[in-house]
Structure 1
């Protein structure tokens, strides 16, 4: 009869036999097949770790009849005695790791929702990946694609015929950045999970884009034709300057940070002028606008492919990590949200490395439970 490899009881017995060198040839074949899976191999190493076995034996000893505490040389004998006589095989194997032992171990990488490609939506509603296979179609509307490592770059031609002018929309998925050079020479940096709508060629009297997400604009100067960035309930008007805008739909504030030059941020009820080093924070619920002096790099490091958290709360940090890696998380208590950290890392590091760094402070514990990242 064929043995179902998902049968925990069968595998438990085989592993237990292996521990005490009582494995048959048929069982050896089954075990070797099971160990081909990397997660099973890691699990097996945990189960067969001598120190772990001894610890579990001692835990069982606490609940057994009042037996004398064995010496080190007796502990292996005691484990054999318990295993062979008192403890059902499936119980001792399961007890070695306190969870279903043959369930695939969930890693931080498993939780990340990355790997998609930036996409473009044409005026006729057609959506396609920005990739080599669609290059011919994308080139036909005046967009040239250049892929440089993790940063996808698009440039719009300046010689698009009037009859071919159309509004297009570009979207960046989780874990991706890209840059776009617009038809007027303005350079746009797009962060993860963002989208922008614009014409493939600006008309002479209008330079206007619509955004959602986070962007850094290096606007080509043109005093006669201001550059306008439209958001849900606000806009920014500039002539020639560099600035960052953060306007994600799941956040109640819109942040505008000026790197150089002057911008005018306007909401439905008010407006504010900003110069280099200044930031406006617009609350979309109260409709109030705050004006602050900030460290520009704190809010623009992302475009250089960096995480930069300067004395930021863990609540802010986890929100930013989620937007880049695409995982779900829960704070187990309110206190943890307000812990502050200073972190500077490249964005191409795996999520587990970032989590390990935070956990190494010993002030916070971050772990996975049921495919959710928990913080306490």
Structure 2
């Protein structure tokens, strides 16, 4: 049976507002039980969750009461289980959770209490935050965070730190060959507005090298790690992002580049406009919603449809998983919490889906991952120990 996405959205919004009638509640859980278009529903819920998270409009939820309400209406037998923390719940909770949700296919049903309300252990680790280091053209370094405002001078260029981002006001005589480098540590992220007005968000363990003024025929920056770009349009001066041996050429567009050295691919994802990705003789022109994936070992490049919400989730304060392995998830977690991953067992082959807020403490993130899979974890200093 086909279900109208608009109707599903209406029912979820009614549920979130606690204004469902009994008939609407029965209809909603009937849809969840049948799951006729699982990928479509997951994508919709991710989009709605991140929209609510960005707008700060996620409601407060009594998770135990939510669970009791669900089990009164939804039989467990034959139903795909979605887990919130350690509480087995239905897919609609993704819209309501406000902190995190994990789902996984072929998941056994478990019903212990949610780790979100558990007392944090003494060895817990807080999430990353807004922090970076700016290296000026003369080698001077400036430590940056989100607190207060600051004016930094570099030649004839004035740099202002304001509300967790850098703003550039280039002087008329700024030499194009003078460069600044913005670097985020593990556990940090930062934003910069470049001299041409282009905006860049840097994820943790990343760096961006750029001139104090774009005076040549091209605007060229160099990226290591991950950055999200909103490029100011200028057809006379194309914008280029250099990533190792690869180059992303744009005119005016929104896109994300992920190029961590501990990943086997460099991923360029286009949200708006058009970009051309080049590596050696390989060239790919992307359309919105497409992703170029460069294998750094074979140097082969392919283009695929992207889950855009997942790609930019980090920018919106979330981890979002879409059929991801545990090691891939833990690499993201390690960069944000500045920890080392130590395997004392072989990680399970289960694939995870769902989302976790990056504002949670590490113990809560690990508890949610435990609820969604077979492995267990413990924190020792700044290490995550992966256990059977």
Q: TM-score range by the shorter chain?
A: 0.5 to 0.7
Structure 2 portions without partners, runs of 5+: 1-120
Matched residue, 1:219: 231
Matched residue, 2:162: 146
Question: Are 2:278 and 1:266 aligned?
Answer: yes
Matched residue, 2:369: 358
Q: Secondary structure at the match of 2:252?
A: coil
Conserved 8 A contact 1:255-1:282: yes
What pairs up with 1:149-188 in 2 under 5 angstroms?
A: 152-162=164-174, 166-188=178-200
Conserved 8 A contact 1:246-1:256: yes
Conserved 8 A contact 2:204-2:336: yes
More helix, by proportion: 1
Matched residue, 2:215: 203
Matched residue, 2:244: 232
Question: Are 2:339 and 1:327 aligned?
Answer: yes
Change (3 A) 1:307 1:269: same
Structure 1 portions without partners, runs of 5+: 1-104
Change (3 A) 1:281 1:362: closer
Question: Are 2:363 and 1:348 aligned?
Answer: no
**Structure 2 Cα separation of the partners of residues 328 and 144 of structure 1:** 34
Question: Are 2:201 and 1:189 aligned?
Answer: yes
**Structure 1 Cα separation of the partners of residues 274 and 130 of structure 2:** 36
Matched residue, 1:118: 132
**Structure 1 Cα separation of the partners of residues 203 and 317 of structure 2:** 9
Alpha-carbon deviations, 1:108-147, whole Å to 9, x = none? 32xx795793111112222221367993434763211112
Please report how far the alpha carbon of residue 327 of structure 1 lies from its aligned counterpart in structure 2 after TM superposition.
0.8
Match among 118, 123, 126 for residue 107 of structure 1 = 123
Change (3 A) 1:366 1:157: same
User: More relative contact order in 1 or in 2 (CA 8 Å, sep 6+)?
Assistant: 2
**Structure 2 Cα separation of the partners of residues 197 and 370 of structure 1:** 33
Change (3 A) 1:248 1:154: same
Q: Which has the larger radius of gyration?
A: 1
Q: Secondary structure at the match of 2:131?
A: coil
Change (3 A) 1:228 1:370: closer
Alpha-carbon deviations, 1:71-109, whole Å to 9, x = none? xxxxxxxxxxxxxxxxxxxxxxxxxxxxxxxxxx97132
**Structure 2 Cα separation of the partners of residues 319 and 116 of structure 1:** 20
Change (3 A) 1:116 1:345: closer
Please report how far the alpha carbon of residue 258 of structure 1 lies from its aligned counterpart in structure 2 after TM superposition.
0.6
Question: Are 2:139 and 1:128 aligned?
Answer: no
Q: Secondary structure at the match of 1:108?
A: coil
Conserved 8 A contact 1:311-1:340: yes
More strand, by proportion: 2
**Structure 2 Cα separation of the partners of residues 339 and 350 of structure 1:** 24
Please report how far the alpha carbon of residue 330 of structure 1 lies from its aligned counterpart in structure 2 after TM superposition.
2.3
Farther off after superposition, 314-323 or 131-140: 131-140
Alpha-carbon deviations, 1:248-285, whole Å to 9, x = none? 12223110011111110001231111111111111122
Please report how far the alpha carbon of residue 213 of structure 1 lies from its aligned counterpart in structure 2 after TM superposition.
0.6
Conserved 8 A contact 1:194-1:213: yes
Please report how far the alpha carbon of residue 225 of structure 1 lies from its aligned counterpart in structure 2 after TM superposition.
1.2
TM-score, normalised with respect to structure 1 = 0.65
**Structure 2 Cα separation of the partners of residues 295 and 328 of structure 1:** 28
Q: Secondary structure at the match of 1:348?
A: coil
TM-score, normalised with respect to structure 2 = 0.63
**Structure 2 Cα separation of the partners of residues 322 and 177 of structure 1:** 14
Q: How many residue pairs align between the two structures?
A: 265
Please report how far the alpha carbon of residue 197 of structure 1 lies from its aligned counterpart in structure 2 after TM superposition.
0.5
Farther off after superposition, 158-167 or 207-216: 158-167
Q: Secondary structure at the match of 2:236?
A: coil
Matched residue, 1:289: 301
